[in-house]
Structure 1
Amino acid sequence: MIILKSEKSALQAYLKTKGWLKPNEIVTAIEVPGKGNMNFTLRIKTRNRSFIIKQSRGYVEKYPQVPAPEERVLREAEFYNLTGLHDHLRKQMPEVYGIDIENHVLQLEDLGTGTDYSFLYEKNNFLAETELRPIIEFTAYLHRSINTKTTATRLANRPMRQLNHEHIFVYPYLEENGLNLDTVLMGLHEVGQRFKNDLALKKVIAELGKRYLSDGASLLHGDYFPGSWLRTDHGFKVIDPEFGFFGDPEFEIGVTLAHLKMAAQTNDLIQKAISIYKEIAPLDVILCEQFIAVEILRRILGLAQLPLALNLEERMKLLEEAHSILV
C-alpha cells in the first residue's frame, strides 16, 4: 500500500498514475482543508481547479496510537453510492471523482474554503433556525429515503461500528483507560470517577451499546455532528460519512442534539430540531433522549474531546442531566 505524504512531486506522480491529473496538469499548491481527525486529507490545487484526496490508514490520523479500519474510505464511497441516487441528498455532499481501492484513497469534489460548524462550541454562538433546518432536514430525508424498505443494499460497516462502540459505550467507563481528565479541565477526573463507579448507569449504557451494534432499518451518516457540517458559499454541505451504517435514526438524532446541548444552544432550538425532524420522519423521542445522554457522557468523559467553552459546573450539570435520563 502506498502511504501518501504532503510532498508535491510524489503526490503529482501518484495522481498522474491514477489518471486524476490531466496529461499537462501540474500541482501548484497543497493545503490541509480542515481539522479532520480520522484520515489523511489534502486539498490539491492546479492552475485551473482543485479537488480533495482522502486516504484512510490503519489508525486514526489525529491519534496514531488508536487503531482504525484502514478500508474505511471505501465504506464512505459506498455511502456516496447510495445517496447519489437521491438528488436532494447528493447535492449536499461532495461528488466522488475517483476511487483507489488498493491504496484506500478517494478523490472528491472540493466544496471550497467554507468552515465547519465547530464554531458553535464557542461562547455565545447561536444557530439560527434558518441554518438549523437544512441540518436536520438532511438527516431526516436520509433516513426516510434510504432504508430497508427502499433498497436491497446494506451497509454494515462493522469494523467502524466496533471502533465507535468502544469509544462511546466502553472506554469512558473503564477504571484504567489512560486518560487523565484533569488535563482537559481541572476537577473533571474526580467527577468522572463517579460515573465509572455507577454500575446501574454502566448496565444501561451496555444495553444501548448492544442496540448500536445491531443492524437497524435506516442508513445513518454515523457521525452527524458540527465537524461534519459545512457552511459554504453554495449552502449547507455534509462530509465524512465513513461511520455510515444501517441503524436506528434515534442514534443519529441523539448525537446531533447532544452536540447542540454541549454547544449551549437553547432548549427551544433543540425542541425545534425535533419538530423539524418529525415533520419528515418518525422518531422515538425516549430512545433519542437516551442516545443524547450517552453522547454527552462520552464526549465529556472520553477520548474524543471537543473544544467546549463550558466550565466544570456547566459540564457537571450536563452529566447529571444525562445520568438522570439513563438511570
Structure 2
Amino acid sequence: MKSIVHLTANIETVEKYLHSQSWLKTGEKITSTEVPGDGNMNFTLRVKTNRRSFILKQSREYVEKYPQVEAPVTRTLREAEFYGLVSGHSNLKSKMPKLLKVDEQNYVLFLEDLGEATDYTFLYEKGQILNDDELAEIITFAADLHTKLTRQDSKKNLPNRKMRELNHKHIFIYPFLEENGLDLDAVLPGLQKVAEPFKSDENLKGKIEKLGKRYLEEGNSLLHGDYFPGSWLKSTDGIRIIDPEFCFFGEPEFEIGVTIAHLNMANQPEEIVQKALRYYKERAPLDEKLRQQYTAVEIFRRILGLAQLPLTIPLQKRQELLNESFEVLTKADYSELPSAIYHHKNLSIYER
C-alpha cells in the first residue's frame, strides 16, 4: 500500500503532488500558496498558478486546529459524496464550490476557489446583524437540501457514522463532564462557576443522553451537518455554503436547531430568529419542540465545550442562554416525539 502524501504549503512539494495526480495543465506552474481563513477540521490550501487559482483540502487522522483530537481521516471522502448528491440539483449545486477532482488514496479534494470570501463568523461581533436577504438565502438552502434530497428518493447511503460519533462526543458528552480538561475561566472569567450546576445535574444529563441517541439514529433528510456561520461564505458572487464533512441523512430539526442556536449566540434580534424559523417552515415541515431541544444542546456545547466560538456576549448573557437551554431540555418529553429511525431494507446504518 502506498504511503499517504502529507501536504504542506511548500510550493515544490505541492507541485510534485499535483503532477503525480495529473491535475496541472501543460505549462502550468505554481506561483504561490496560502492558507485561506482559519480552518478547524482540515488542512486547506489556496494554490495560485500562472493560469488559475484553486483549493486543496486534505483530511488527517486528527483535527487540524486541535492535533490532540482524533478525527476520521475519510471525512473528505464523505464530503465528496455530499457534493455528488447535490450535483443533480442546480439550486443547491450553484451555492457550493465545484468539486473538480478527488484523490481517495490521500484524502484530498481539488475544489473551486471562491476568491477572497469571508465566513459569517463576524456575526458574533457586537452590533453585527444578518440582513433579511442573506437570512432567506441561508435558510432556503437548508430547506431545499432537506426536502429535495431524502433517503426514500436516494439510492445512495451516507451514514457518516464515524464523523457523527465524533460530533456526538463533542455535543452530548464532553461539555457535561465535570473534568474535561478545558479551563472555562480561560475562555471567560467566571464561566467555570456558571457551568458547575449544569455539569452535576443528573436529570439534565439523562435528557441529553436520550437526545444524543436520537442524533445517532437514521433520518430521512440529507443534512449539511454543521450549519453555522463558519460554513456560510460571503463571496463576490453571493452566499456560498462550504464544509459539509459532517453530512448525513438525519432530522432537519438538528440542522435548524444548530442554526438557531448560533443566531442566539450571535445576539441576533429575536425578529431575525423568528424570521429564520418562518422562512424554513414556509418551505419544509419542522417539529418545533425537537428543534428547541437541539438548539439548547448546541448552546451548551458551544459555551461549555471544546469547540469555542469568538463570542462577544458577556457572561450574564451566556448564563441566560444556558438557563433557557436547561429549561428546554429538562422539561423535554421524548414520548411525545415521533421516531427518528428511518428504515430501508437495502441500506446498512453501519456503512462508513
Same fold (TM over 0.5): yes
Q: Does 1:297 align with 2:303?
A: no
Q: Is the counterpart of residue 14 in structure 1 residue 17 in structure 2?
A: yes
Q: Write the letter of the residue equivalent to 2:113.
A: D
Question: 1:148 and 2:154 equivalent?
Answer: no
Residue 81 in 1 paired to residue 81 in 2?
no
**Contact 1:221/1:243, CA 8 A, preserved across alignment:** yes
CA positional deviation for 1:33: 1.2
Deviating beyond 3 angstroms after TM superposition, the runs of 4 or more aligned structure 1 residues are none
> Equivalent residue for 2:39?
36
Are the counterparts in 2 of residues 16 and 23 from structure 1 also a CA contact under 8 Å? no
Distance 2:257 2:49 in 1: 41
Partner of 1:119: 122
Query: Which residue does the alignment assign to 2:217?
Result: 214
Please say if residues 230 and 238 of structure 1, whose CA atoms lie closer than 8 Å, have aligned partners that are also in contact.
yes
Q: Which position in structure 2 is the counterpart of 1:196? A: 199
Is the 8 Å Cα contact of residues 148 and 218 (structure 1) preserved in structure 2? yes
Would you say 1:274 and 2:270 are equivalent positions?
Answer: no
CA distance in 2, matches of 1:145, 1:309: 36
Letter in 2 for 1:262: M
Structure-2-length-normalised TM-score:
0.92
Q: Which of 165, 173, 176 is the aligned partner of 2:176?
A: 173
Residue 226 of structure 2 is aligned to residue 223 of structure 1: yes
Matching residue's letter, 1:90? K
Residue 23 of structure 1 deviates from its aligned partner by 2.2
Q: Which residue of 1 aligns with 2:336?
A: none
Q: What's the counterpart of residue 137 of structure 1?
A: 140
Query: Larger deviation: 54-63 or 146-155?
Result: 146-155
Kept in 2, the 8 Å contact 1:249–1:283? The answer is: yes
| SS, match of residue 275 in structure 1 | helix
2:317 pairs with 1:314: yes
Correspondent of 2:289 among 266, 271, 286: 286
Displacement of 1:150? 1.9
Q: TM-score, normalised by structure 1?
A: 0.99
Distance 1:115 1:77 in 2: 22
Equivalent pair of 1:143/1:219 in contact (CA under 8 Å): yes
Unaligned runs of 5+ in 2: 331-352
SS at match of 1:280: coil
1:242 corresponds to which of 230, 241, 245:
245
Q: Take 1:292 and 1:172, find their aligned partners in 2: how far apart are those partners?
A: 15
Counterpart CA distance in 2 for 1:148 and 1:162 is 20
Aligned to 2:33, what secondary structure does the other structure show? Answer: strand
CA contact (8 A) 1:179 1:303 kept: yes
Offset of 1:152 from its aligned partner?
2.1
Letter of the aligned partner of 1:278 in structure 2?
K
Gap runs ≥5 in structure 1: none
Shift of 1:112: 1.0
Equivalent-residue separation in structure 1 for 2:258 and 2:247 (angstroms): 13
Match of 1:261 among 236, 259, 264: 264
* Residue number in structure 1 paired with 2:189: 186
What is the alpha-carbon distance in structure 1 between the residues aligned to residue 39 and residue 326 of structure 2? 30
Q: What is the one-letter code of the residue matched to 2:97? A: P
Contact 1:229 1:236 in 2 (8 A): yes
Partners of 1:179 and 1:235 lie apart in 2 by 37
The separation in 1 between residues aligned to 2:107 and 2:205, in whole angstroms, is 36
Write the letter of the residue equivalent to 1:237. R
**Which residue in 1 is equivalent to 2:63?**
60
SS state of the match for residue 149, structure 1? Answer: helix
Name the counterpart of 1:158: 161
Given the alignment, which residue of 96, 105, 108 partners 1:105? 108
Residue identity in the other structure for 1:306: L
User: For 1:111-157, what per-residue CA distance to the aligned partner results, in whole angstroms no more than 9, with x for missing partners?
Assistant: 11111000000000001111100000000000000002321211100
AA aligned opposite 1:286:
K
Match of 2:343 in 1: none
Superposed CA RMSD in Å reads 0.6
